[in-house]
Amino acid sequence: MEDLVRYLARSLVEQPDRVRVFTKETRRETIIKLQVAQGDVGRVVGRNGRVANSMRSLLEVAARHHKKPVILEID
């Protein structure tokens, strides 16, 4: 799932080398944290959060067989 988020983010931003993706596992959920350059945050979030919500929807489909909910956090 990290690879999916990394691929999507790198295709959206102007500085793809500054994209970082980390995964944190808790008992109840899996948190995928996406970090991009300060100037690229708007590109990843999108107008009214549309791009971020689309990424979350794709992640939800990719995580269907995952035992815990997957959450995407964008920094």
- The packing angle between helices 50-62 and 2-12, to 10°, is 150
pLDDT classification of 67: cutoffs 50, 70, 90: confident
Total structural domains within the chain = 1
Say which CATH number the domain at 19 has. 3.30.300.20
Rounded to two decimals, the pTM is: 0.91
pLDDT at 27 over 90: yes
Q: Which domain holds residue 16?
A: 2-74
- Cα–Cα distance, 3 to 49 (Å, whole number): 21
- Cα–Cα distance, 15 to 26 (Å, whole number): 30
Q: Are 13 and 51 in contact (CB under 8 A)?
A: no
pLDDT of residue 33: 98
pLDDT of residue 36: 98
pLDDT classification of 66: cutoffs 50, 70, 90: confident
pLDDT of residue 28: 94
Q: Which long-range contacts (CB under 8 A, 24 or more apart) does 50-54 make?
A: 51/12
